[in-house]
């Protein structure tokens, strides 16, 4: 009975994630073999992914305390982003999203990343790019818990956070650049490479920013969150 209820809760999320795969294949159909069709397909794919992950996250809500902590972290992450918006690719919010996901799990990580985008863009401006930012920050938080298997002590935690944060600077750029490439270029491999190369310096700044903040503040932030949630630090 318990497994059946869990399946019922997660079915809508699985449906949207499956739809995202279907939408991804739309350009193979003749009516979508044009730039507009590619834009529609990509938009539906990203939208389905975001909705699917949000539904999956909602199906794993643990407690009122968990929800409150996710809300606080999402709001704080958004506040961290806004003052640095004028400095290209300096995104201190990314480090907090990663730390949140590491401690609270994939669902919380994706929700914190989502809130970061939704709340901060109320001041900075929403647009089609918001979907891609949600995916970029949401996946950073959702994948961060995988680092727990690689960290056996405080030293390995710091190293794993630095490597992951540095790499995610480029992954985030790859994802968010799609919002520029898909809607303002004629989709082709050449234009895709050109867009990615044009942003390489901005992505590098983001990567370095992540690595520095996670190296300096990551373990302490994680320890603080673990103390709030569990009353103890994993490595103390």
Ordered by start, the domain boundaries in the chain are 1-60, 62-230
Q: What is the Cβ-side half-sphere exposure of residue 84, based on CA atoms within 13 angstroms?
A: 15
The predicted pLDDT at position 133 comes to 93
The predicted pLDDT at position 100 comes to 93
d(CA 202, CA 214): 18
Tell me the three state secondary structure of residue 62. Answer: coil
The predicted pLDDT at position 136 comes to 93
Question: Which CATH topology does 62-230 take?
Answer: Arp2/3 complex 21 kDa subunit ARPC3 (1.10.1760)
Which phi-psi region, left, alpha or beta, contains residue 153 (left: φ > 0; alpha: ψ -120 to 50)? beta
The predicted pLDDT at position 171 comes to 94
Q: At what angle do helices 64-81 and 93-104 cross, to 10 degrees?
A: 160
Which candidate, 167, 141, 159, places its Cα nearest to that of 219? Answer: 159
Sites in the chain below the pLDDT cut of 50:
1-8
The predicted pLDDT at position 215 comes to 93
The predicted pLDDT at position 33 comes to 65
The predicted pLDDT at position 4 comes to 41
The predicted pLDDT at position 66 comes to 78
């Amino acid at each position: 009975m318990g497994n059946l209820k869990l399946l019922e809760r997660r079915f809508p999320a699985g449906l949207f994630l499956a739809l995202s795969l279907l939408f991804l294949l739309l350009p193979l159909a003749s009516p979508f073999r044009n730039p507009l069709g590619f834009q529609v397909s990509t938009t539906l794919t990203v939208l389905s992914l975001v909705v699917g992950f949000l539904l999956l996250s909602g199906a794993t809500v643990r407690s009122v305390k968990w929800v409150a902590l996710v809300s606080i972290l999402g709001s704080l992450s958004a506040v961290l982003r806004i003052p640095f918006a004028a400095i290209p690719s300096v995104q201190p919010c990314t480090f907090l999203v990663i730390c949140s996901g590491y401690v609270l799990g994939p669902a919380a990580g994706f929700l914190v990343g989502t809130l970061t985008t939704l709340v901060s863009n109320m001041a900075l401006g929403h647009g089609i790019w918001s979907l891609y930012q949600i995916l970029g920050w949401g996946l950073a938080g959702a994948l961060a818990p995988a680092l727990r298997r690689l960290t056996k002590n405080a030293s390995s935690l710091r190293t794993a956070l630095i490597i992951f944060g540095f790499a995610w600077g480029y992954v985030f750029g790859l994802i968010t650049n799609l919002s520029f490439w898909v809607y303002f270029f004629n989709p082709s491999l050449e234009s895709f490479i050109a867009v990615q190369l044009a942003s390489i310096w901005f992505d590098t700044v983001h990567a370095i920013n992540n690595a520095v903040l996670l190296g300096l503040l990551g373990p302490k932030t994680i320890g603080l969150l673990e103390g709030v949630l569990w009353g103890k630090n994993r490595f103390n």
